[in-house]
Structure 1
Amino acid sequence: MQYKILISGDRADFTTLTLDLGKKELSILANYAAPFNSSWTELSSSQGSIDRLIGLSEGIESGLLYSFEIDHAQKTCKITSQQPTLGAPGHFITLRDSSALVLGTYLGGSVAVYPVSITDANTLLLKDAPRTEILPKFPYESVGHGPNKGRQRQCHIHQILEDRRGLLYAPDLGSDRVWILRRDKVKLEICGWLQCPPGTGARHAVLAPGGTIMYVIGELSHTVIAFDLSTAPAEAIRPIDGFAPNIIPSTIHPDHQTMMDSAEICLHPTIPNVLYVSNRWERHIAQREPHLKNVPKALPPGDDVAIILLSNDGKTVKDMKHMRTNVDVIRGMRLSDDGRYVVVAGQEGGGVEVYEISGDKGDVWTFVAGLNEGLQGGIKHAIWL
């Protein structure tokens, strides 16, 4: 049996890989020229040998949101539609009703709705129509910055989620909030927020099955915060008491943790009450702050993933395990749709690795295959095709 993976990021190409389970090998299928810093992509639809996708280019002063398609048989890749964005878009979703894409911009600090059309061939295209954009007010504006002076100087929208009611959620690293937005066709309004502890730096979040609990990873605090959404939308919804596990391995000195960032948070698609959350930059602590003392000279082979086991109601942490990978600076982590495998990608090195997920609780990861040779660096994202 074989799986296909697409990797992208701050690199010249999209790269497709094949995972051969019989041989336990990852290999390169093809490279295709990609827009600048294509740090997030998602599969839109598939037909025969053609995969239709959506991607973004982070840009600098302005970014790009685009649709594209890869024909694996012909080994071609072409952009089919595109629209400019504010600076450094970070994440987008396709709305459940397929009427639009919603995009969060990390440097633009905005949430924007981009209308789309679906062709007879089930191809999603961005419409050449005005977008709706909303810029949340920065709550630390009177002070000039949040608790982390270097990282919290404006709103930094890092992700967009949609719940079953159609409410949108936007984790904001700059404001320590997850904004709640209501959409009426292409119109947006902020109708509340989840209030993270100061200095959390909300990066990514996941909605538990049923949509009653949201788990948020703080890039700056390295803690997972949980919120009961039964009262949403409302202003300043507080986290669930007592739920704030720190995902950094206990072997790392507390004084060194500020040199690390947290990255991705994932749920298992079929096994309930387990979270997977990745750490990054552990191998670069001394490099990022040369004046730190007692930084171990023996570096780990790669970054670590925390596996968090939850209570039946999802409101308490029962146990936490750590899985050591061989990839350096985990930026991309994605489970296959069937939940059997997880791919992790290293932004600074170590390439791509795939692990099999097993155990009744989904807490056993077994290395399957890895690939580094022949890959460009700068990998920020990986998806299953």
Structure 2
Amino acid sequence: MARKLLLSGERADFTVVDFDEGSKKLSIVANYPSPENASWVETTSTEGSVNRFIGLSGGLSVGSLYTFEIDHANDTCKITSQQPTLGAPAHFITLGDKSALVLGTFCGGSIALYPITVTDSAGLLLMDTPRIEIFPKFAYEANGHGPNEGRQHQCHVHQILEGKNGLLYAPDLGSDRVWIVRRDGTNLEICGEIQVPPGTGPRHAVFTSDEKIMYVLGEMSHEVTAYDMSGKSTDLIRPMEGFSVNIIPSSVHADHQFMMDSAELSLHPTIPNVLYVSNRWEKHIAEREPRLTNVPEKLPSGDTVAVVLLSSDGKSVEGISHVRTSLDTIRGMRLSDDGKYMAALGQEGGGIEVYEISGERGEVWTLISSLSEDLESGIKHAVWL
């Protein structure tokens, strides 16, 4: 059986890759020209040989949100609708009622709603109507910047989640907040906030399946913190006491961690109480800060993914291990829908690696396939087709 992946990122092309489960081999099937810096893509539907998608183009000052489709039988790729965004659009979701997309912009510092239509013939398309956009108030406005002066000088919304309660949640790296947003028709309003420790720089968050706990990853602190979401109040929610885990491997000196970034946070779709969290830039510590001392001369093969095992109630950490990859700067990773495979990507090199996930707790990662030859660099994202 062959599975396909679509690779995208800061590169000239979308790349379709076959993963043959029998032979455990990856092979390039096709390349299609893509918009600039296609940093996030999601599948919307499949009809015969046609896959339909939503994607982002991540320009720093102006970006775009667009829909497109790939017809594998006819070897074509075309954009089907498009709308402009503010700078560096980072992440979007399709709302559960299929009425709109909600987008967070990193440099724009905004949360925006884009109306959509969905038909059998054309699939999901962006409507030709203005977006609804709100701008959270920068939490460190009085000081002019957050604890990390170089990176926390405005709101930097990096992700959007939708809860079963209908509320939206938006991690903001600049403000050290996860904003809670209420949507009423075409209106958006901030109705609460989750406060993460100062200097954390929240990048990604996930809910447990019952949505009683939210885990938040700090890009700059390299810490995963947890929040009790079982209450109905949206007043200021603070971190759960006793839960904090640093996901940097012990091979990195504590004084060198600030030159790394944490990237993505995933929950296994069927195995509870395990988190997968990726690190990046370990091979570039000395390059990013030449004044550092005691940086190992021998560089690691690549970055690591932390496997964090949680207690049965999800409120404490029972153990952490690290999977050492041969990927340089893991910017993206994606589990298959059945949780059997994880595809991890090297933005600066190493291409793509596919790991088989096993063990009673999803703690065993086995590298079964990799591909880098003839694969354009700059990969930031993958989706299983």
Q: TM-score, normalised by structure 1?
A: 0.99
For 2:48, the aligned partner's letter is G
Q: Which amino acid aligns with 2:223?
A: T
Inter-partner Cα distance in structure 2 for 1:120 and 1:4: 23
CA distance in 2 between partners of 1:60 and 1:254 (Å) = 32
Which residue identity does 1:81 align to in structure 2?
S
Residue 355 of structure 1 aligns with which residue?
355
* 1:1-385 aligned within 5 A: 1-121=1-121, 123-385=123-385
SS at match of 2:221: coil
| Separation in structure 1 between the aligned mates of residue 325 and residue 191 of structure 2, nearest angstrom | 40
Paired with 1:61 and 1:199, the residues of 2 have a C-alpha distance of 25
Cα shift at 1:122: 6.0
Q: How far is the alpha carbon of 1:165 from its aligned partner?
A: 1.1
1:235, distance to aligned residue in structure 2 (A): 2.9
Distance between the aligned counterparts of 1:324 and 1:44, measured in 2? 33
The separation in 2 between residues aligned to 1:370 and 1:251, in whole angstroms, is 24
Contact 1:45 1:122 in 2 (8 A): no
Q: In the TM superposition, what is the alpha-carbon distance from 1:23 to its structure 2 partner?
A: 1.3
C-alpha RMSD of matched pairs (Å): 0.8
Secondary structure of residue in 1 paired with 2:98? coil
- Structure 1: runs of 5+ lacking an equivalent: none
Compute the displacement of 1:232 (Å).
4.8
Alpha-carbon shift at residue 60 of structure 1 (Å):
2.2
Alpha-carbon distance in 2 for matches of 1:352, 1:10: 15
Letter in 2 for 1:297: E
Deviation sequence 1:35-78 (CA, Å, 0-9, x none)? 00000000000011100000000112111000000001111000
Relative to structure 1, the CA distance from residue 77 to residue 152 in structure 2 (aligned partners, 3 Å threshold; closer, same or farther) is same
Structure 1 position 231, deviation (Å): 2.4
CA 41–233 in structure 1, closer or farther in 2 if over 3 Å, else same:
farther
> Percent identity at matched positions?
65
Deviation at 1:233, TM superposition (A): 4.3
- My pick for the range that moved more, 226-235 or 81-90, is 226-235
Looking at structure 1, the residues matched to 185 and 49 of structure 2 have their Cα atoms a distance apart, in angstroms, of 34
* CA gap 1:38/1:232 in 2 versus in 1, 3 angstroms: farther
When residues 121 and 35 of structure 1 are mapped into structure 2, their CA distance, relative to the original with a 3 A threshold, is: same
How far apart in 2 are the matches of 1:121 and 1:230?
Answer: 41
Query: Quick check: 1:243–1:317 contact (8 Å CA) kept in 2?
Result: yes
State the 1:242 CA deviation. Answer: 1.1
CA distance in 2 between partners of 1:122 and 1:223 (Å): 43
Verify the 8 A CA contact 1:191 1:233 in the aligned structure 2. Answer: no
Q: Shift of residue 21 of structure 1?
A: 1.6
2: CA distance, partners of 1:149 / 1:355: 38
Structure 1 residue identity aligned to 2:45: S
State how far apart, in whole Å, the 2-side matches of 1:68 and 1:143 are: 43
SS in 2 for 1:4: strand
Stretches of 4+ moved more than 3 A in 1? none
Q: Check the 8 A contact 1:192/1:232 in 2, yes or no.
A: no
SS at match of 1:230: coil
Mapped partners of 1:130, 1:158: distance in 2: 22
Can you list the C-alpha shifts for 1:194-224, whole angstroms capped at 9, x where unaligned? Answer: 0000000000011111111110100000000
- 1:280–1:331 contact (8 Å) kept in structure 2: yes
SS of 1:355 mapped into structure 2: strand
One-letter code aligned to 1:322: H
Over residues 108-141 of structure 1, what are the superposed CA-to-partner deviations in whole Å (9 max), with x where a residue is unaligned? 0000000000013360000001111000000101
| Structure 1 counterpart of 2:186, one-letter code | V
Deviations 1:209-264 (A, max 9, x none): 11111101000000001011122542321011011100000121111000000000
Return the alpha-carbon distance in structure 2 between the equivalents of residues 30 and 235 of structure 1: 49
- Aligned equivalents of 1:2, 1:340: Cα separation in 2: 14
Distance 1:166 1:45 in 2: 23
| Count of aligned pairs | 385
The C-alpha deviation readout for 1:12-51, integer Å capped at 9, x for no partner, is: 0000000012111111010000000000000000011100
Partner of 1:245, secondary structure, is strand
Cα distance in 2 between the residues matched to 1:61 and 1:364? 42
* CA offsets 1:140-170 (integer angstroms, 9 cap, x no match): 0111100001110000000000011111000
1:290 shift after superposition: 0.3
Q: AA paired with 1:169?
A: Y
